[in-house]
């Protein structure tokens, strides 16, 4: 592990990204180039811009560079995952029990998604349609259910393996507007229904007629359906806990830095835990193949990896939250299946947790530091904040949210970073 840190991942791309593109022109597009460039520039104040704080007492300056916030960047992965868990935590419906569902497909079907990433959207929709169908069948009535679906394209070893992780409400609203819980789902039915919905999706969305051959093969070789399973037990209670729990399954960059063991300029050695054997496996790849294995997980620009369906739909969930509080039985106090929604962590706290210090305290004299300026790599200095003066209007003008009333002697300015 010696000498391996998050810069090793960057170094690999510094050294070989250009060569990789020459051999794999498919990846020489703005989407991929931008993602790689952002990852390489991340945290560099010259390239990314920065916020500058100054201590009003002793004049000490602190610069905090902007980071890329990309899920491909190992430095940002934790913040990315945390923010994401925060967000999902706030979207869960109080009092509702959730199950964690995983939907996969046979390996020979992966190629269709690799060739055409646009298929990943109908793939996610098929996941929702399938679970709706399953719960309707279980309950015998039409249920209004909710799903939060996360797309993962990487298997444990970093291979391309598109599959879905889903937080599904273990029940739904029936036609009489009552909540109906579903605690038992037969596996056989689940496997067959998933096979049906996925193959129907391929038939409806792939224009290449040779897909029919693979669809036939899938029916023949998998008479019992596709692998679809519920993680045992109910997902842990606690809104954040639950979201963090799911985050664990979808760790963003395919290989986190702690799994890279060696890089000598030509090859990369890393480890992963094999799903089936539960053993730690090691793999050494020529560096260009390693890059290929990583970049195949970069999704098209603007693609939403996390989507909300049914009761969780973007337009509906607020209303549903209110409606559900009226119909979810609340007679059991502190229902262990429920969860509590915690507010999102502010920037200052996240910074504190990452670096062990308060970003707004002077490292020299412990006095409050004030925001002095924001520097953007393209637009230069966006704003100079005059210290020792009240500037409420100007703060508003650049969209700065102040956390509390500011006194002249105690100026705490909390800014949401522009790229968050
Ligand atoms: Zn100071
Ligand atoms: Zn980054």
Least confident span in 69-83, 155-169, 213-227, 298-312: 69-83
Q: Ligand 1 centre from 63 Cα, in Å?
A: 14
Which ligand places an atom closest to the C-alpha of 54? 1
**pLDDT tens readout for residues 13-64:** 999 999 999 999 989 999 899 989 988 998 888 888 888 888 888 889 888 8
Laid out side by side, the sheet with 306-310 consists of 228-230, 98-103, 160-169, 146-154, 306-310
Q: 3-class SS at 41?
A: helix
- DSSP label of 106: -
Interior/surface letters 135-144, b for 16+ CB within 10 angstroms, e for the rest: bbebbeeebb
Which ligand places an atom closest to the C-alpha of 56? 1
Q: Cβ(327)–Cβ(173) under 8 Å?
A: yes
Q: Specify the higher pLDDT residue, 162 or 65.
A: 162
According to the model, what pLDDT value does residue 234 have?
58
Q: Specify the higher pLDDT residue, 349 or 303.
A: 303
Which ligand places an atom closest to the C-alpha of 75? 2
Name the residue with tokens 């260009």.
288
Q: Ligand 1 centre from 173 Cα, in Å?
A: 58
Which ligand places an atom closest to the C-alpha of 61? 1
Q: Ligand 1 centre from 408 Cα, in Å?
A: 16
Percentages of the chain per state (helix, strand, coil), in multiples of 5: 40, 20, 40
Name the residue with tokens 């100026």.
411
φ and ψ at 188, to 5 degrees?
A: -60, -45
Distance between CA atoms of residues 37 and 27, nearest Å: 13
Q: Above pLDDT 90, what percent of the chain?
A: 31
Average pLDDT, the chain: 79
Q: Specify the higher pLDDT residue, 26 or 71.
A: 26
Q: Ligand 2 centre from 83 Cα, in Å?
A: 14
Section 221-230 average pLDDT: 86
Q: Ligand 2 centre from 81 Cα, in Å?
A: 12
Prediction pTM value: 0.75
């Amino acid at each position: 592990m010696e000498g391996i840190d998050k810069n090793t991942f960057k170094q690999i791309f510094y050294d070989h990204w250009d060569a990789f593109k020459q051999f794999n022109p498919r990846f020489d597009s703005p989407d991929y180039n931008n993602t790689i460039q952002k990852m390489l520039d991340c945290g560099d104040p010259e390239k990314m811009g920065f916020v500058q704080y100054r201590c009003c007492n002793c004049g000490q300056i602190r610069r905090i560079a902007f980071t890329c916030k990309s899920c491909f960047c190992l430095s940002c992965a934790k913040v990315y995952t945390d923010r994401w868990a925060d967000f999902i935590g706030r979207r869960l419906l109080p009092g509702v029990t959730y199950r964690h569902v995983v939907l996969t497909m046979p390996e020979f079907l992966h190629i269709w998604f690799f060739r055409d990433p646009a298929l990943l959207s109908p793939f996610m929709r098929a996941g929702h349609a399938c679970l709706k169908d399953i719960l309707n069948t279980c309950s015998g009535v039409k249920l209004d259910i909710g799903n939060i679906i996360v797309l993962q394209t990487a298997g444990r070893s970093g291979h391309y393996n598109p599959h879905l992780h889903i937080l599904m409400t273990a029940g739904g609203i029936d036609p009489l507007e009552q909540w109906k819980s579903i605690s038992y789902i037969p596996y056989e039915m689940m496997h067959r229904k998933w096979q049906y919905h996925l193959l129907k999706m391929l038939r409806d969305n792939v224009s290449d007629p040779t897909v029919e051959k693979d669809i036939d093969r899938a029916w023949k070789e998998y008479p019992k359906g596709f692998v679809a399973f519920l993680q045992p037990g109910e997902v842990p209670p606690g809104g954040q806990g639950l979201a963090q729990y799911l985050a664990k399954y979808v760790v963003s960059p395919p290989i986190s830095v702690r799994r890279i063991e060696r890089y000598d300029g030509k090859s990369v050695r890393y480890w992963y835990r094999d799903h089936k054997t539960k053993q730690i496996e090691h793999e050494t790849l020529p560096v260009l193949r390693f890059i290929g294995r990583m970049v195949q997980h970069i999704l098209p620009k603007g693609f939403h990896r996390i989507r909300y369906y049914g009761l969780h739909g973007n337009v509906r969930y607020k209303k549903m939250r209110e409606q559900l509080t009226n119909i979810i039985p609340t007679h059991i106090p502190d229902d262990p299946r429920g969860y509590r929604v915690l507010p999102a962590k502010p920037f200052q706290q996240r910074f504190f947790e990452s670096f062990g210090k308060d970003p707004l305290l002077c490292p020299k004299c412990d006095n409050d530091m004030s925001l002095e300026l924001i520097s953007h790599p393209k637009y230069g200095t966006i704003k100079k904040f005059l210290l020792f003066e009240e500037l409420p209007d100007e703060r508003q003008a650049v969209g700065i949210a102040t956390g509390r009333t500011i006194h002249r002697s105690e100026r705490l300015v909390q800014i949401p970073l522009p790229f968050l």
